[in-house]
Each structure stands twice: as C-alpha cells, then as structure tokens.
Structure 1
Amino acid sequence: MSLGFVVVPEGRAAVIERGGRFRTVLGPGRHLVLPFADRVRARVDLGEQILSAPPQPVEAGDGREVLIGYEVVFAVADPRLATYEIADPASAIDRLTRTALRQEAGLTTAERAVTAPGDLHRTVWTVLHDTTARWGIAAKELELTVSPPAAPGTPSTAQEWY
C-alpha cells in the first residue's frame, strides 16, 4: 500500500478517520496518511469568526418590547469536538444566543433591560460560554445592543428572528 499526503493550510486543522472512527487531528503542514485506510472527515477553520444579528423585537417580562441585537466572536478550540459534537457551529451559536436572550429578557422589565443591559449580558454570556465549551468552541466576545422600540409611526427595519 502506498502512502499519501494531506496538506493542511495555516490556520486550519484536518480531522482524520480510519475505518470510520476518529484517529487524529492534523495541524498545519504536510502529513503522511494511508490512502485507503485514512480519510479526511473535516477541515476546520481555527480563525475567529463573527456572528451578528441586527436588533430584533423581544418581549420583556412586563409585556413591553425591547430591541436586542448581538455580535458573538468565537473560534474552534478543539477540532475533534467541533466536528463530532455539533453539526453546524455557527447556526447552533446563533440559536443558542437568541434563545438565551429571549429567556432572560422575559425575566426582566423592558426598562431594566434598556438601562442595565449588563445583567442580561452576564447571564447570556455564561450560557453561551458554558455550552459552546462542550462543543469544542471558544466563545470570545459577546456584544449586546439593547434599546427601546421605535416610536409608533416611525419606519422600522427590524427583521424577524427566523
């Protein structure tokens, strides 16, 4: 059996399987592999990625709406976990952030959400950081934009969450 090469560019990793089971993670460079035994399961970008959502209407606990937008900076910390634990990390982080924001906004008043967004940020950050760590993802930053809704009659550019 002849040997083959796998070339992994800088800033990326390759997850290798042998016989359908995880074998190893290859870092940047040229690597020898067994052509018919080893296969590249995934090529993973290790660079920071930014996920953002424009301000969306969210109902607070007092029944009033606030507009909440966010930006999450994340990177793959463990290519093996990021490959096998979660199918689409960006989509999962987006859904997780939206769900946590809705849940936490529903526990506070609209006025408190706008005047003291630090409480909302702290709770959502904890959920985001803890959950993504299990997926092999490092959540690096979370930025929230919380504001009251536009006055009636003012054109709104808000989009639906889904």
Structure 2
Amino acid sequence: MDYFFAVVAPLAVVIIGGCTVRSVKIISEENEALVERLGKFHRKLESGLNFINPILDTVVLEDTLSERVLELKPSQAITKDNVSLIIDAVLYWRVIELELAYYKVQDIEEALRKLVLTTLRSEIGEMDLQKTFYSRKDINKAMLRELDDVTDRWGVKVTRVEVQEITPTPKVIEAMELKRAAEFKKQADILEAEGTVRAMELLSTAIKSQSNSKDILQFLVAQRYVEANQKLSESPNAKIVFMGSEPLGSSMGELLNNSTISPPESNGSNSKSK
C-alpha cells in the first residue's frame, strides 16, 4: 500500500496538475479564440482568463479583432474607352465575427484581396480615362458599399478603401505623348498658316497702294529665289544646278504683265463714262 501511494500519488498529482495547466487559457486584449470539442465548434473565448476541458476541447484559432491593413499589389484594369491602367489600393478591415471568418472562408485575406481587385476593376470599367483621374473618392465610396454586401457573410467589416494610384501603362503614356505632340504640331501649323495668310493680305494691300507695284513684286520674287538657292546650297548631300536669272526674269515678267494690280479705287470711280 505504501508502495502504491508512493508511485501513484505523485503520478496523479502530475496528471492533475498538467490537466489544470492545459485547461487554463489566457486570451490577449482585443483578441478572441475559437474552441472545438471533438472536431466541432463549441464556443468562443473572450480576452482574459478562460478555462477549457483539456481532454475534449481544442483551441483552433486565436486572432485579433483590431483593424488591419491589406495592401493590393499593382494590377491592371481597363477603362470604358479601352485604356489600360495600373491600379493600386489599400484596404482597412477588421473581424467582427471570428467564427464566420474562420469557417466560412478558407483564407480570409486572399478572399478580400480578390474581391477588392474584382470590384475595383468593375468600377474602373464603368469610367473613361479622364473621369478616373478626378473620381477617386467616388470609386472609394462605391467600392465600400459593394464590399459591405459581401463581407458581412464572412464576419468581416471593411472600414475603408483607398485607391492610391491610377496610372496609365507605359504604352498608353507613350501614345498619349505622341497624340499631344501631334496636336501641338497641328496647332502650330494652323497658326503658321494663318500668319502667312495675314502677311500676304497685308503685303497685297501695301503693294496695291504703291505706284511701282511691279518693281516691288520683281524684287520680292528675286529675294525668294536667292533665299531658296541659299537653303539648297546648305544641304551637304544635295546636288544643285543653279538656274540663271534671265529665264526667271523673263518668266516673271510675263507673269507680271499678265497680272493686273490696280491701285485702290476711290469712292467716285465706280461709274464708267459711256
């Protein structure tokens, strides 16, 4: 009997002590834990000191209820006008029902990441490129509404969504720069053409007011001829054959003889004598 107590009593103390230690569970502040009994959900443990059955019960999860941040990797989306964009967003969320978050979704963070990306692409697809640049707040609000409808079933609350970056892809940026350069060139050509027309009008008016208009025209044509020859001569690879001034002079003489440049008419010159 003494031998029995000497062996069994210490062993019983060790077993009872071990069970007592295993039955005590201390849950940290802002945390909750899930307890399963024989493989099925049994109850939740709140923060503080808790006791469980060490033989039948198992703590399968302890997680925080505090707000968390989930960053999305830059991903591609397409606008309504078929422009590719690179989007980047941040999600703020918290668990409100740990049981649902653990049993309803296999990987809650991955599920949230895919849901946010799908919703964001859907919102971007309803807008054209220009609208996406100034509608970031509207996108955030719309995403928050749509995410709430889904995440409630997961025991999760999305508190805030922020779209950080909306950037066109490098190919789109290059195409936009080419388009902008073409528009600038078009505007410059239009302004240059308008300036040329205006200069021609002023020159025509000035020539008509002079009595020696033919001499002025001959001088201007000769000046243009000299400038054209000078530009041609500046080309390193050009083979230039200069034309004499006499054929040009005779040709321009015929042109000037055939053209009529009359001085400005006075107010009383409209009537002709018969």
Q: Which residue identity is paired with 2:45?
A: L
Q: How many residues align?
A: 153
Quote the Cα distance in structure 1 between the aligned partners of 2:48 and 2:83: 55
Secondary structure, in 3 states, of the residue corresponding to 1:62? coil
- TM value normalised by structure 2: 0.52
Quote the Cα distance in structure 2 between the aligned partners of 1:68 and 1:100: 12
User: How far off is 1:67 after superposition?
Assistant: 3.0
Q: Does structure 2 conserve the Cα–Cα contact (< 8 Å) formed by 1:16 and 1:22?
A: yes
The one-character-per-residue Cα deviations of 1:55-94 (angstroms, maximum 9, x if unpaired) are: 4331112101233211111111111111111121111111
The gaps in structure 2 that reach 5 residues or longer are 1-15, 176-274
Quote the Cα distance in structure 2 between the aligned partners of 1:57 and 1:135: 27
| Alignment RMSD (CA, Å) | 2.0
Matches within 5 A, 1:1-162: 3=20, 4-149=23-168, 151-152=173-174
The gaps in structure 1 that reach 5 residues or longer are 154-162
Query: Could you say which residue in structure 2 is the equivalent of 1:159?
Result: none
Quote the Cα distance in structure 2 between the aligned partners of 1:35 and 1:93: 34
Select the structure with the greater relative contact order (CA < 8 A; seq sep ≥ 6): 1
Identity of aligned residues (%): 25
Quote the Cα distance in structure 2 between the aligned partners of 1:84 and 1:54: 26
Quote the Cα distance in structure 2 between the aligned partners of 1:46 and 1:135: 14
Runs in 1 of length 4+ with deviation above 4 angstroms? none
The one-character-per-residue Cα deviations of 1:18-47 (angstroms, maximum 9, x if unpaired) are: 122211111111211111111112111212
